[in-house]
Copies of this chain bind each other. A is one copy, B any other.
């Protein structure tokens, strides 16, 4: 598994730690350190306000968007970066609903991350008019796509089980029913080969602190189909999405491209660190990454099933049907995860009973997997979890 050794060397990986939680928060890319220092010392410190133009701050949302575009199969000029993922979900949904004014239903599934559902509920609650958020089981989505549906809003990879939706098939099905589609790629971007443009996706959003390693609170991204962009008038809009922000006009006049989805002043420091983090991806082939991710996760499943009979696989067994994470159910998973972390193998826990592990080929290899399996088996077979104090709940999904 030496093909990814050059990317592994670009991360700071703490001594003695095996990190299987890059699906929550990627580790520190070495380039991010230097970039943060430069932004503070050389740009903010020395150029002051002049850095907006002089150091290219103003252009960061577009520039970082170009790097992400390549990773999700989007053409140049169709991705903008900023805000949090929930804000972008809300913004995308508001713009999409306006394009289907005669329809009343937003369709999602019970595998969607709750924050996406909250944003949709908030918008729909206020719009009223008989609008409805309809949440069905993941396997019932295709069937539920009928002519009532205005927008299909799905997260491609389930944050608990790793179950993977078929983006192409569901997008086609939604379009056949006359609905627009918004994909949340939180657990997909940087984990899977994606082809949002080729699949005909209307809008997509995602976060950058998981597989893209942008750091804690790194901003979200939004993709809009180039043919659709000119029609988008999001409720949530701001001066930097105006065609001429510095004209300071009283009425919003949208920028021509995806820039219309920009809102306020961008988080320069987070964007600059993210931009540096994305340099790791140069030359990475997403199909090879996916193949390696499957190798690692299959190796982990085989190892755990051979040595930890207490655990039950809670993710799809078919690797083609899951993202880049694997969960095992265990009634005492909370304490077991705590014991595992205390031994330097970091995964996380999701209620009620899921031990969750992420596979990130950029910086993990087979030796990491074997160590994780061995330590997990020791923890379980020694019953270490029985003495565990309650684990402070992990934070990021």
Chain A residues at the B interface, C-beta cutoff of 8 Å: 12, 14, 17, 19, 21, 24-25, 27-28, 32-33, 36-37, 39-41, 43-46, 48-53, 57-58, 82-87, 90, 94, 98, 110, 113-115, 117-119, 121-123, 125-127, 135, 207, 209, 215-220, 233-242, 246-252, 263-271, 273, 341, 346, 348, 350-351, 392-396
Contacts and interface: CB of A to CB of B under 8 A. Distances in A.
B14 A48 contact: yes
A118 to B, nearest CB: 4
A14 B45 contact: yes
Contact of A216 (B51, B235, B242): B51
A342 to B, nearest CB: 11
25 contacts: A27-B45, A28-B41, A33-B45, A36-B37, A37-B37, A40-B215, A44-B216, A49-B346, A49-B395, A52-B396, A53-B395, A83-B84, A86-B239, A87-B236, A87-B263, A114-B239, A115-B263, A121-B251, A122-B233, A123-B236, A135-B250, A215-B269, A216-B265, A247-B351, A248-B350
A250 B117 contact: yes
A184 to B, nearest CB: 12
A350 B94 CA distance: 32
Contact of A235 (B39, B122, B392): B122
A84 B264 contact: yes
B118 A252 contact: yes
A238 B17 CA distance: 32
Contacts of A392: 53
The 10 A-B pairs with the shortest beta carbon distances in the complex, nearest first, are: A84-B264, A52-B395, A216-B268, A115-B239, A86-B238, A217-B267, A86-B264, A217-B268, A118-B252, A28-B45
A48 B346 contact: yes
- Could you say which of A85, A123, A234, A239 has the most chain B C-beta atoms within 10 Å of its C-beta? A239
Nearest to A46: B14
Contacts of A266: 217
Given A114-B239, A242-B114, A265 B396 contact: yes
A113 to B, nearest CB: 7
Contacts of A52: 25, 216, 394-396
Contacts of A127: 126-127
A21 B49 contact: yes
Nearest to A214: B269
A270 B217 contact: yes
A24 B351 CA distance: 45
A125 B346 CA distance: 48
Contacts of A50: 341, 346
- Could you say which of A28, A48, A114 has the most chain B C-beta atoms within 10 Å of its C-beta? A48
Contacts of A119: 236-238
A121 B251 CA distance: 8
A84 B36 CA distance: 20
A118 B238 contact: yes
Nearest to A253: B118
Nearest to A394: B49
Given A37-B37, A83-B83, A215 B268 contact: yes
Contacts of A21: 48-49
